[in-house]
């Protein structure tokens, strides 16, 4: 329903507009917080993997409390979406680890651009999967986005904890994050189109979080038994501090998609544009991250690219 429908009272329109902005800003700020949180983990010498595992356990608990039931118990394992939810859990753990490693090894700016400019991958795949068409501005945005990723992730000498980061990591980490995030978003969209509806969306998300919790817990247990890691109870607190915002960042985006009059082809780029901008500014102001001229140009180009994707989605 459009926000400017003739039959809607002005008070209802204003209220809906306010909720739209609250949900949008909530999604942007919470997601940017998640990226920057890994810089805090590095400062306090807390483990990425342990924190991420407890993060997904927290997400599962919060999601269960919000929905009023434990998704895994109530879910039908024979449902066609169940296997996809389990696979999403695996991707959640892998990609979130990659976000953390990229943020700590390189920078939050590079991590944010690689993570969020990947929206061009599901956009391109939608042409072949759903016979969708892209506007000229969207194609231009895709071309600029590719150039932006290359410039933002252009190798440079980086010292981290008095050690020089290997040049190949400066290329591979953002590349894996870019393609991995794009593939994950494409699979989520495919699952949503093929199997999900209003009655099972919450169950799907809950099972995906529960799967991430289970997979992460098993992997963490193996590492602890093999003494590849040492358990630190502070990682539980870090996981909670990440998990609650993680769940509500997704919750806010879903709510924004529900109440916004804009098409999803515009909503997602607008949301990602805000996340990249917020992450880069916060990393510069709070953590004093320094960027080369090429990296800065790449970030600026990524903002233009995402803006064109959003504008093209409105046409």
What pLDDT does 16 receive? 60
pLDDT tens for 131-190 read 888 999 999 999 999 999 888 877 665 555 545 566 677 788 999 999 999 999 999 989
Length of the chain: 315
CA–CA dist 253, 158 (Å, integer): 34
Instruction: Return the sign of the alpha-carbon dihedral for residues 42, 177, 274, 205.
Output: negative
Instruction: Please tell me the distance from the alpha carbon of residue 46 to that of residue 272, in angstroms, as a whole number.
Output: 28
7-11, 45-49, 227-231: range with lowest mean pLDDT: 7-11
This model's pTM is above 0.95 = no
Mean of per-residue pLDDT scores for the chain: 87
pLDDT single digits (tens) 109-124: 999 999 999 999 999 9
pLDDT at 304 over 60: yes
**Cα–Cα nearest to 152, from 124, 180, 171, 176:** 171
Annotate the chain with DSSP letters as a single string. --TT-TTS-HHHHHHHHHHHHHHHHHHHHHHHHHHHHHHHHHHTT--HHHHHHHHHHHHHHHHHHHHTS-HHHHS-TTSTTHHHHHHHHHHHHHHHHHHHHHHHHT-HHHHHHHHHGGGHHHHHHHHHHH-----HHHHHHHHHHHHHHHHHT-----EETTEEPPHHHHHHHHHHHHHHHHHHHHHHHHHHHHH--TTTHHHHHHHHHHHHHHHHHHHHHHHHHTTSS---THHHHHHHHHHHHHHHHHHHHHHHHHH-SS-HHHHHHHHHHHHHHHHHHHHHHHS-----HHHHHHHHHHHHHHHHHHHHHH-
Question: Confidence band (pLDDT; 50, 70, 90) for 87?
Answer: very high
Res 31 pLDDT > 90: yes
Is the model's pLDDT at 4 over the cut of 50? no
């Amino acid at each position: 329903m459009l926000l400017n429908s003739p039959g809607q009272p002005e008070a209802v329109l204003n209220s809906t507009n306010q909720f739209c902005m609250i949900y949008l800003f909530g999604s942007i700020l919470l997601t940017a917080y998640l990226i920057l949180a890994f810089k805090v983990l590095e400062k306090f010498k807390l483990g990425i993997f342990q924190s991420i595992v407890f993060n997904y356990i927290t997400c599962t608990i919060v999601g269960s409390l919000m929905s009023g039931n434990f998704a895994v118990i109530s879910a039908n394992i024979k449902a066609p979406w169940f296997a996809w939810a389990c696979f999403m859990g695996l991707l959640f753990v892998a990609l979130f680890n990659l976000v953390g490693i990229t943020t700590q090894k390189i920078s939050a700016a590079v991590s944010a651009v690689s993570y969020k400019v990947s929206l061009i991958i599901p956009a391109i795949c939608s042409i072949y999967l759903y016979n969708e068409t892209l506007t000229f501005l969207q194609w231009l945005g895709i071309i600029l986005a590719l150039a932006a990723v290359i410039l933002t992730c252009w190798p440079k000498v980086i010292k981290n904890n008095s050690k020089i980061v290997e040049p190949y990591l400066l290329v591979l980490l953002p590349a894996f994050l870019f393609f991995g995030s794009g593939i994950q978003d494409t699979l989520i969209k495919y699952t949503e189109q093929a199997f999900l509806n209003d009655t099972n969306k919450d169950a799907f998300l809950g099972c995906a979080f529960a799967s991430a919790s289970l997979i992460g817990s098993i992997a963490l247990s193996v590492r602890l038994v093999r003494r590849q890691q040492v358990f630190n109870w502070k990682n539980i607190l870090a996981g909670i501090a990440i998990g609650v915002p993680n769940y509500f960042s997704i919750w806010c985006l879903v709510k924004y998609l529900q109440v916004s009059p804009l098409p999803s082809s515009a909503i997602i780029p607008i949301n990602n544009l805000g996340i990249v901008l917020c992450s880069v500014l916060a990393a510069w102001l709070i953590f004093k991250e320094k960027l080369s001229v090429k990296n800065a140009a790449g970030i600026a180009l990524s903002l233009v690219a995402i803006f064109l994707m959003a504008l093209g989605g409105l046409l």
